[in-house]
Structure 1
């Protein structure tokens, strides 16, 4: 294996860093780029997830295009602080973490994106702190109770529970990543070690995540109210894109349709050949989408067509370049 001394994949253009948060926790993140607008990218929530695992293709590219990119390991994942007082208590603690992380790095305004659980964190963060967000992009996620939770479809394919073995981690990666070449041995090893490190802390987060998704009833009505997105997220006019892979087997793309129906100010895309971790399946496409959107405030016509711009409703013309009549 070719992991670093911190048990990370060695990714050109991606540097490992640490920062102390105001609450005393040691936060790990990977970063790319030294100047330009700030971008925070939030990883998903399956065992072994981390900033490196989720964004190893996109982050270095954005850094080379003139952005300062930060990919933190959220509590319970990656190399996050494993001391019990910093274990995550649910999605709300990830929102608090992002706020503390941005403050620690003096990021007053930034672009924000998240995949899967990271998208959930992003959705809740932008509802809580819209004044901090320049624009945002979601990938295959949940947006809370703004979408009808009873319509959330089951997984399109059977997922084996992670059993703690390297082989189980390999199978899990193969289910969310459709591009075989992206399931490298170093990735499996890094994620397996991270999952072992965070086994106890991640277990604290999962029950409240199930409450947020409507799988089990909320135990705390105040927390439920604070995490509600209905009547809030759909009213935001922050420039936003949402990419939902047509080949997502964790949650089929019809869930994206349900969310599109309640997010009138967000431009949706359904890229072909993209699974649950779409940015890993189609790195060249996602590199172009993110660079154009964060740089220009909209996506070019050619890139929008490649990305499967939604045909379910009229395009948002301020977010997608329109065809010029001959």
Structure 2
């Protein structure tokens, strides 16, 4: 079921495959939109319902630039779909949002699944792998030149293929989908100024819900550090490394990811 839900002046594009309290709400990465969860949405037809939505500046969500809060957008989606509580499943930027939301609204979260997660307030790295620095320089040059197609392809190399991997490691329909999703986001209107939450990094031990951290073994070292730090700091957390994947394991290896997610959800108290 496709829905449009207001939050401020935005009209959030939402997809719900059913209505049941405590079901997963999937939060996409900053290089994707809700289509990155297509395999999980399909799986939900035989497993459990899920809710997805396009964040501001992504996919089919319509907006007028304004000051906004991503946490308020999540609340709007939950309230409109009847979710008093949800299992928040966040990828990359979506993982950061899931954590920030949980710290602000702990009563609305049953559990967390954080995939290649970013962490608000995490220490800035002073050293990066040479292959990452090269890609970063090329991305800066493409942005300065206004070559968004080139920037899109370079971001695919970093986030989809993984740093230091062969360009095009992930090919075919998956790469085409990444380029379409991220290309649309790169060309989207600026949504406005986001209200920055209090940093999560020093407050992870305040997370009181079961938490699963998933990270692709081809992802950035900093993301592995984030995931390992969160697994140590959150009282009820476990870490699962997915081989042969980078930032979007649920897109690259949906069957393996779905099996991990389903087994973990079934074990929740």
| Matching of residues 102-121 of structure 1 within 5 Å | 102-121=78-97
The aligned residue for residue 81 of structure 1 is 62
Alignment TM-score, normalising by the size of structure 2: 0.80
C-alpha distance after superposition, 1:258-296 (max 9, x if no partner): 333323421111222120112122211110111122233
Is the aligned partner of 1:124 residue 2:100? yes
Identify the residue that residue 199 of structure 1 maps to in structure 2. 189
Partner of 2:117: 141
Task: Name the CA distance, whole Å, in 1 between partners of 2:235 and 2:21.
Answer: 30
Stretches of structure 1 lacking an aligned partner (at least 5 in a row): 1-14, 209-222, 299-326
Counterpart of 2:191 in 1: which secondary structure? helix
Q: How many residues are paired up?
A: 252
TM-aligned CA distance change 1:288 to 1:28, over 3 Å: same
**TM-score when normalising by structure 1:** 0.67
Paired residue secondary structure (1:68): coil
1:100 to 76, 86, 107: 76
Residue in structure 2 matched with residue 61 of structure 1 by the alignment:
43
**Alignment of structure 1 residues 263-282 onto 2, 5 Å:** 263-282=234-253
**Bigger radius of gyration:** 1
Q: Is the 8 A contact 1:250 1:276 kept in 2?
A: no
Aligned to 1:239: 210
Answer whether contact 2:93 2:118 (CA < 8 A) is retained: yes
Partner of 1:72: 53
Residues 1:82 and 1:134: Cα distance change in structure 2 (over 3 Å): same
Q: Is the 8 A contact 2:16 2:52 kept in 1?
A: yes
Partner of residue 34, structure 2 = 51
SS in 2 for 1:106: coil
Partner of 2:158 in structure 1? 175
What secondary structure does 1:137 align onto?
Answer: strand
Q: How does 1:156-175 map to 2 (within 5 A)?
A: 157=132, 158-159=135-136, 160-161=138-139, 163-175=146-158
- RMSD between superposed Cα atoms in Å: 2.9
Secondary structure at the counterpart of residue 16 of structure 2? strand
Unaligned runs of 5+ in 2: 162-169
Could you say if the C-alpha distance between residues 175 and 243 of structure 1 is closer, same or farther in structure 2, counting changes exceeding 3 Å? same
2:256 and 2:268 mapped to 1: Cα distance? 17
The offset of 1:142, in angstroms, is 2.5
Distance 1:120 1:252 in 2: 12
Q: 1:130 to 1:36 in 2, by over 3 A?
A: closer
